[in-house]
């Protein structure tokens, strides 16, 4: 992954040359809409990987997609140069300076032929009704003159080199019958089918578990090593630091910093790059704020002066006073139709502390959360809340003690009644409190302006929604909050703000958290104790630092090894 061209090797072929790219949407009368990508320049060479990093809305996907004419409906594109495989794809340039784009037929030759595209959600990218063998064969049918049997052999070898187990039997499976990781492999295989020189991968591992993500990244690395150029779009700096040779940091449609990955991530010059790096929670001790404190209009995060950080570090290393357990799960098991979801789990959450629960999708984390919340009755075992029996039992018995236990969900939006405003949602939640606080105070506590009270959740950003969700959980003055993947759907900088907020609320209100996540970095940053879950069982459980430093179970070791880190 060295940045400099290797000595003795001729300069590699330039696959993509982009200069001064501007992309925007819509036309109002004679004038076109504002540019969402403004003045972006880069090149991608054969056998090298360029990563475009940025948050949602930074224009990174639009930039990559304009290379294959898929920027979106109503998009206009202008550039000093926009070349794929040495030929311009700008098409005839109109009077307003915007390229008209290539003809549909010309684009089709490039897509799949010159350039392969892999997107985030393989489930919707593959036709659910067609076997994957046919889906992959399509690219060959369109771009090569192979016979049916040759195509079949090529599809098999593609799946095989893509790390698909038992490729011959997979040919006839449909995308819905494959796991997320296998689907992504099938999609990569179909993108590589016609041997494109360039592969564009738009957040290819974002929806995947970390061990699966590591496999897909290894696959993409082997593709790059075979001489294919890779344009990699991601918001995840850790992933980027692993796979990319060069990196382009985008913000609001502009490039704020670019260069070799070691230089940009190792010695960032721009404040935004620094903020992005700082927001990565992996390895950051508990209590150290993650969010960039620069523009702190009313931000209540601790100032980031060196002494304050040191003080926070000191506070985090000092052992917290052990208090009595507020939430105890004792030998809890749950079976759904013969499938073991949770098997004999015994956990205990001490007051004012965080118990991190980490595991991959399908490991039973969410079922365990629902059992703790008293929403799913366990088959065997019992749950105690604040020293008294909690579940199983009738909801009527639990209702009066519900204010003790709050919940924050991954998908905040769907957890709000779509008809209600923020004010109504929080007023509902405050009704359960013994001593209701003023709404404005509650909003201030989670860092929201009072003006937001009249908005509906649909009108809020992802970070704002999660803040409202936290405010709702906080309203009845609970002792325990169950957080099920609370930051998984958020950009890294918003995630940093939410994690900082949760950390501050915990200290101010003495809250105990059951913090569930698939992201090891987040769990490590947040947790005092840690439980690793696999196939419904807790395979490892102990003090967070001990588990991370000396993982005992092979699965924990595999998880830790698979987690992408910033400085490999």
Partner 1 sequence: MSLPAVSTVAAVAPDGRGASTVRRGRRMLGPAQWVAVAVLALLLLAAVAPAVLAPGDPFAIAPTDAFLSPRWGHPLGTDESGRDIYTRVVHGAGTSLVIGVAATAIGIVLALVLGLAAALGGRVVDFGVNRLLEVLFAFPGLLLALLVITVYGPGIVTSTIAVGLATAPGYARIIRAQARSVATAPYVEAAVVLGRSPGRILARHILPNAVLPVIVLVTLGVGQAIVWAAALSYLGLGAEPPAAEWGAMLYAGKNYLATAWWMTFFPGLAIVLAAAATTVLGRALQKRGPR
Instruction: Report the interface residues with partner 1, using CB under 8 A.
Output: 36, 55-59, 251-253, 271-272, 275-276, 291-292, 294-299, 301, 373, 375, 395, 398-403, 405-407, 409, 411, 414-419, 428-429, 432, 446-449, 451-452, 454-455, 458-464, 467, 472, 476, 491, 493-494, 497
Map residue 454 onto helix, strand or coil: helix
Q: How far is the CB of 387 from partner 1 (least distance, A)?
A: 19
For 85-198, where are the alpha helices, taking DSSP H only? 104-110, 122-125, 132-143, 148-161, 167-170, 180-192
Measure the CA–CA gap between 13 and 9, rounded to whole angstroms.
11
Q: In what order do the strands lie in the sheet with 537-543?
A: 405-408, 480-484, 512-517, 354-358, 529-534, 537-543
**DSSP of 377-406, one letter per residue?**
--SEEEEEETTEEEESS-HHHHHTTGGGEE
Q: Which is nearer to partner 1, 123 or 452 (CB)?
A: 452
Q: How far is the CB of 502 from partner 1 (least distance, A)?
A: 14
Q: Which is nearer to partner 1, 245 or 484 (CB)?
A: 484
Residue-wise burial string across 354-363, b where 16 or more C-beta atoms lie within 10 A, e elsewhere: bbbbbbbebb
Measure the CA–CA gap between 49 and 46, rounded to whole angstroms.
8
Q: How far is the CB of 469 from partner 1 (least distance, A)?
A: 9
Given a contact cutoff of 8 angstroms between Cβ atoms, the answer to whether 521 and 282 are in contact is: yes
Measure the CA–CA gap between 329 and 104, rounded to whole angstroms.
60
Question: Would you state the structure tokens that stand for residue 192, as one six-digit string?
Answer: 């590589």
Q: How far is the CB of 394 from partner 1 (least distance, A)?
A: 12
Q: How far is the CB of 373 from partner 1 (least distance, A)?
A: 6
Token pair 């090891």 is at which residue? 520
Q: Which is nearer to partner 1, 402 or 537 (CB)?
A: 402
Q: Which is nearer to partner 1, 184 or 301 (CB)?
A: 301
User: Crossing angle for the helix pair 554-562 and 210-225, nearest 10 degrees?
Assistant: 50
Q: Which is nearer to partner 1, 428 or 508 (CB)?
A: 428
Q: Which is nearer to partner 1, 17 or 398 (CB)?
A: 398
Q: How far is the CB of 407 from partner 1 (least distance, A)?
A: 5
Other C-beta atoms closer than 10 Å to the C-beta of 118 total 26
Q: Which is nearer to partner 1, 389 or 401 (CB)?
A: 401
Q: How far is the CB of 389 from partner 1 (least distance, A)?
A: 17
Map residue 4 onto helix, strand or coil: coil
H or E element: which one contains 19? strand 14-25
Q: How far is the CB of 454 from partner 1 (least distance, A)?
A: 7
Q: How far is the CB of 425 from partner 1 (least distance, A)?
A: 9
Measure the CA–CA gap between 321 and 481, rounded to whole angstroms.
19
Q: Which is nearer to partner 1, 14 or 375 (CB)?
A: 375
Q: Which is nearer to partner 1, 46 or 299 (CB)?
A: 299
For 446-543, where are the alpha helices, taking DSSP H only? 462-474, 492-509, 520-526
């Amino acid at each position: 992954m060295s940045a400099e061209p290797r000595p003795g090797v001729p300069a590699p072929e330039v696959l993509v040359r982009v200069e001064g790219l501007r992309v925007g949407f819509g036309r109002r009368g004679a004038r076109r809409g504002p540019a969402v990508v403004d003045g972006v320049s880069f090149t991608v060479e054969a056998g090298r990987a360029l990563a475009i990093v940025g948050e949602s809305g930074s224009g990174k996907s639009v930039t990559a997609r304009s290379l294959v004419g898929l920027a979106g409906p109503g998009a206009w594109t202008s550039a000093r140069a926009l070349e794929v495989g040495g030929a311009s794809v700008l098409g005839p340039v109109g009077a307003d300076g915007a390229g008209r784009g290539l003809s549909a037929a010309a684009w089709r030759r490039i897509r799949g032929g010159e350039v392969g595209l892999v997107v985030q959600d393989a489930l919707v990218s593959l036709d659910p009704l067609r076997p994957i063998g046919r889906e992959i064969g399509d690219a060959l049918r369109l771009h090569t003159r192979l016979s049916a049997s040759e195509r079949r052999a090529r599809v098999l070898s593609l799946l095989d080199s893509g790390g698909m187990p038992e490729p011959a039997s997979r040919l006839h499976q449909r995308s819905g019958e494959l796991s997320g990781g296998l689907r992504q492999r099938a999609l990569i295989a179909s993108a590589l089918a016609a041997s494109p020189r360039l592969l564009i991968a738009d957040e290819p591992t974002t929806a995947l578990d970390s061990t699966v993500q590591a496999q897909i990244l290894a696959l993409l690395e082997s593709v790059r090593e075979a001489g294919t150029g890779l344009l990699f779009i991601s918001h995840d700096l850790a992933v980027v630091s692993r796979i990319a040779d060069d990196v382009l940091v985008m913000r609001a449609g502009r490039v704020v910093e670019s260069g070799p990955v070691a230089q940009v991530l190792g010695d960032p010059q721009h404040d935004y790059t620094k903020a992005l790096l700082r927001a990565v929670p992996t390895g950051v001790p508990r209590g150290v704020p993650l969010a960039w404190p620069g523009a702190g209009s009313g931000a209540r995060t601790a100032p980031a002066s060196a002494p304050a950080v040191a003080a926070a570090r000191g506070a985090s290393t000092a052992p917290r006073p052990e208090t009595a357990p507020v939430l105890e799960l004792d030998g809890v098991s749950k079976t759904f139709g013969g499938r073991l979801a949770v098997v004999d789990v015994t956990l205990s959450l001490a007051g004012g502390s965080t118990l991190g629960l980490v595991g991959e999708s399908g490991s039973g984390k969410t079922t365990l959360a629902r059992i703790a919340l008293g929403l799913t009755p366990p088959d065997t075992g019992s749950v105690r809340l604040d020293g008294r029996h909690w579940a199983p039992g009738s909801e009527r018995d639990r209702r009066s003690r519900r204010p003790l236990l709050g919940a924050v969900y991954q998908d905040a939006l769907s957890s709000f009644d779509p008809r209600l405003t923020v004010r109504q949602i929080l007023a509902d939640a405050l009704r359960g409190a013994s001593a209701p606080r003023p709404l404005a105070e509650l909003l201030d506590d989670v860092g929201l302006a009072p003006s937001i009270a009249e908005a509906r959740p649909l009108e809020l950003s992802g970070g704002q929604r999660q803040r409202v969700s936290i405010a709702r959980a906080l309203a009845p003055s609970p002792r325990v909050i169950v957080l099920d993947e609370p930051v998984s759907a958020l950009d890294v900088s918003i995630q940093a703000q939410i994690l900082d907020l949760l950390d501050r609320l915990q200290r101010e209100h003495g809250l105990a958290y059951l913090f569930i996540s698939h992201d090891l970095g987040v769990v490590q940053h947040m947790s005092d104790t840690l439980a690793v879950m696999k196939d419904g069982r807790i395979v490892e459980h102990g003090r967070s630092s001990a588990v991370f430093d000396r993982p005992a179970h092979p699965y924990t070791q595999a998880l830790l090894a698979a987690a992408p880190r910033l400085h490999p």
